[in-house]
């Protein structure tokens, strides 16, 4: 099951240009079986998502991109709309108590201007970031960062034994499906999605 785990739409994410109805068409066009709506600190309601899924003929899951003091976190299986910046330790308690999953989104995007090689950061140093103590996984393929930044994320996930997922981080329609997480089994809801990710029954795929 081919899923893009990281997509933003307008007007819920003010930085996005993607109309939800256009997203459904594009998702099918690029061969996705499912997608996750991960707006910035705004969770879609189950009813809205069910209606969209019926209309679009594609499985839709709900997520949330939450801003923490340690960076942006993709959260699945957590219903609360968290506003402002939250301490990652507090978010971890809340999400964990509800059985949710936390993924570090584009954890090395801050190196976009300078480049990892120029800063000479080593994987061992990167692994020491507080962020990685509180997440279940890392986004190793993200459409908004450079290849070296994605590679550093991959190496950190591998070194720390964290889940390594892919998502496009789409804000434009042509970006949908750039990063795909491919599940071995079909899932019907966020609970099953989390179960499959935790069990590591997936691979990732990248399209520039």
pLDDT tens digit sequence for 122-162: 888 889 999 999 999 999 999 999 898 999 999 999 999 99
Q: Give dist(CA 192, CA 101) in Å, integer.
A: 12
Q: Give dist(CA 21, CA 126) in Å, integer.
A: 39
Please give the model's pTM, rounded to 2 decimal places: 0.93
Q: Which CATH number fits domain 2-206: 3.40.50.720, 3.20.20.140, 2.70.98.90, 3.40.640.10?
A: 3.20.20.140
Q: Give dist(CA 206, CA 178) in Å, integer.
A: 6
φ, ψ for residue 108, nearest 5 deg: -115, 25
Name the residue among 126, 82, 122, 127 with its Cα closest to residue 100.
82
pLDDT tens digit sequence for 165-179: 999 999 999 999 999
- Asked if 135 and 162 touch (Cβ cutoff 8 Å), the reply is yes
Beta strands in 39-156 (DSSP E): 59-68, 71-76, 101-104, 137-142
Task: Report how far Cα 188 is from the mean position of its chain's Cα atoms.
Answer: 18
Cα distance between the two ends of the chain: 20
Domain ranges of the chain: 2-206
pLDDT tens digit sequence for 6-61: 999 999 999 999 999 999 999 999 999 999 999 999 999 999 999 999 988 999 99
Q: Give dist(CA 19, CA 12) in Å, integer.
A: 10
pLDDT band at 73 (very low <50, low <70, confident <90, very high): very high
CA-to-CA separations, 137 to 31, 49, 107, 208, in angstroms, rounded: 25, 25, 11, 22
The CA dihedral of 123, 116, 113, 36, to the nearest 10 degrees, is -40
């Amino acid at each position: 099951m081919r899923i893009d785990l990281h997509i933003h739409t307008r007007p819920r994410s003010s930085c996005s240009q993607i109309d939800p109805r256009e997203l459904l068409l594009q998702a099918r066009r690029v061969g996705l079986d499912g997608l996750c709506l991960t707006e910035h600190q705004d969770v879609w309601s189950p009813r809205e998502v069910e209606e969209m899924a019926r209309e679009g003929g594609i499985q839709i899951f709900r997520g949330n991109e939450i801003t923490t003091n340690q960076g942006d976190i993709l959260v699945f299986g957590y219903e609360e709309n968290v506003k402002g910046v939250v301490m990652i330790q507090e978010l971890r308690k809340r999400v964990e108590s509800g059985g949710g999953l936390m993924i570090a989104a584009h954890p090395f995007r801050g190196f976009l201007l300078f480049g990892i090689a120029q800063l000479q950061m080593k994987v061992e140093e990167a692994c020491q970031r507080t962020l990685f103590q509180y997440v279940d996984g890392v986004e190793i393929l993200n459409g908004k960062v450079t290849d070296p930044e994605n590679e550093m994320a991959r190496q950190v996930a591998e070194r720390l034994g964290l889940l390594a997922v892919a998502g496009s981080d789409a804000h434009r329609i042509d970006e949908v499906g750039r990063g795909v997480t491919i599940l071995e089994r079909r899932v019907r809801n966020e609970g099953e999605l989390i179960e499959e990710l935790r069990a590591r029954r997936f691979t990732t795929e990248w399209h520039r």
